[in-house]
Structure 1
């Protein structure tokens, strides 16, 4: 088996310095579709340096280093075909607001390797801190097709929260995805050819390049922040999702949003692709806020 579970879990944590500037933040925001309409005061929070706020999901690309999926594949003991790899899920916990510019140390380690039968799931945890203390903690769940079946533990279910309420959503937002959205988003650091190279995408089982899961992740969080949180991303405490299916550049994302109504400051979200009969894109999605 290409994954040596014992070696992967025994690998020491890896730390790397990361830094970012307002330009990096602006590029990320443009990569998730911010700036339309260009003169909208709400959009200028994401694009104009004199008013710049940081959408918390920027933490997943801060420093333009390797995304969690790529870092997970470079752990000792992991030797797999990148065309068999998918991003299965992402969790982000904010310890305080992400600054517009900063320097931090990001420390990553593999915390689990799970046997799902027809696949393996690698769990990579990354903690970032600056001189003032912890900034954020993220967890990437990396799905490797064809690498399960060695008799390991399956781990907990991917579903961490109950499904959305059985009632109409409180808000429905539709966000068109530009044909060149993945090409723009990848400039923030995720150069996986799955999102740009048609030949590689076909080898991975897709008819054409797919949108980065973390791009959809950012588009969705922006929709929640803009519609329910008054555009104030500092209110976001945590954000978790499961990548349920691909989105393609040129499609429209339908984002359904529910308040929990249970006294907890938590928003439930589902995302589907309009042009493919509401095919699932993000599921089990929760934004916790204050």
Structure 2
């Protein structure tokens, strides 16, 4: 069997040393659309964007943890007990929990492991966990949920559904964020070099008529929008962030981001749709917890 759940879960965690500085943070922020603010008469001079782009004022969005050290959260696919066809792999969801604000310049030890293996019948779900810590202690915990089509049915635990009902009330805030036509070309410089996001020929082989945006780019754009809209632009207030990837985004489209604040425990519920495609959902089961 390509996935040996017992062997994968028992494998020793992999460790690596990673580092980053202000240039990596700035490049990531530019890759998720920082630098301009839609709706302003002259968005190029919005001073609020300097906290994402100017080294002397820089803060770090927690979603940066998904690319710090040029990581993509998929290291666990090389673990013992896992031998899968990458063409059958889908990134189903992502969560990040920060233990304290991420520093602008850092050096950390990152530990990667397979935290769970679930049997969904027609597919297996791997939870790949990466944890980072520096000399001052834990920094973040990242969980990537990876669907592997055709690898279920081995008799394992089904695991949690992860689905939460969409709030029945109207959203408290709705904002739109345009995706630049070259957004994927810029975002991939932070470490995800998959040609699916750049090469039309490769995208056609995967069944798309043009390259698609990285799901983690949509993930970052959304967290920035929530931070700017509801948290006074203060990334240090974010405690955790999770999302399920429900559909693709094409560069040049507009993200419509709905936010509900009337939930318990300082939680913002979020849904993201592609405005030009009849509000097709691209991020579902999404929430941000904050102080």
Q: Where do residues 118-267 of structure 1 align in structure 2 (5 Å cutoff)?
A: 118-159=122-163, 162-262=164-264, 264-267=265-268
- Report how far residue 158 of structure 1 moved: 2.1
Query: What corresponds to 1:68 in structure 2?
Result: 73
Deviations 1:56-112 (A, max 9, x none): 1111111113x113x132222222222221111111111000001110111011011
Q: Which residues of 2 match residues 2-81 of structure 1 at below 5 A? A: 2-36=2-36, 37-65=43-71, 67-69=72-74, 71-81=75-85
Which of 49-58 and 264-273 deviates more?
49-58
After superposition, the Cα gap between the structure-2 partners of 1:107 and 1:204, relative to the gap in structure 1 and judged at 3 Å, is same
Distance in 1 between the 2:152 and 2:106 partners? 40
Alignment match of 2:95 (pick from 91, 108, 116):
91
Q: Secondary structure, in 3 states, of the residue corresponding to 1:113?
A: strand
Hey, what does 2:285 align to over in structure 1?
284
Quote how far apart the aligned CAs of 1:269 are: 0.3
Q: What is the deviation of 1:143?
A: 1.1
Q: Structure 1 pair 151/190, CA: closer, same or farther in 2 (3 Å)? A: same
**Distance of 1:148 and 1:183 partners within structure 2:** 34
Tell me which moved more, 81-90 or 195-204: 195-204
CA positional deviation for 1:261: 4.2
The alignment yields a C-alpha RMSD, in angstroms, of: 1.4
- Structure 1 residue runs of 4+, over 6 Å off? none
Shift of 1:155: 1.0
Q: 3-state DSSP class of the match of 2:212?
A: coil
Contact 1:106 1:127 in 2 (8 A): yes
The 2-side partners of 1:145 and 1:252 are apart by: 30
For residue 286 of structure 1, report the CA deviation from its aligned partner. 0.7
CA contact (8 A) 1:72 1:142 kept: no
Instruction: Give the Å deviation of 1:165.
Output: 2.2
Q: Which range is displaced more, 248-257 or 207-216?
A: 207-216
2:252 and 2:30 map into 1 onto residues whose CA distance is 16
Distance in structure 2 (CA, Å) of the matches to 1:226 and 1:76: 42
1:240–1:287 CA contact under 8 A, matched in 2: yes
Structure 2 residue ranges without an equivalent (≥5): 37-42
Task: For residues 19-59 of structure 1, give each alpha carbon's deviation from its aligned partner in whole angstroms, at most 9, with x where no partner exists.
Answer: 00100000000000111133211111111111111111111
Show CA shifts across 1:97-139 (max 9, x none): 0001110111011011111122111101111100000011111
Residues 214 and 232 of structure 1, relative CA distance in 2, 3 Å threshold: same
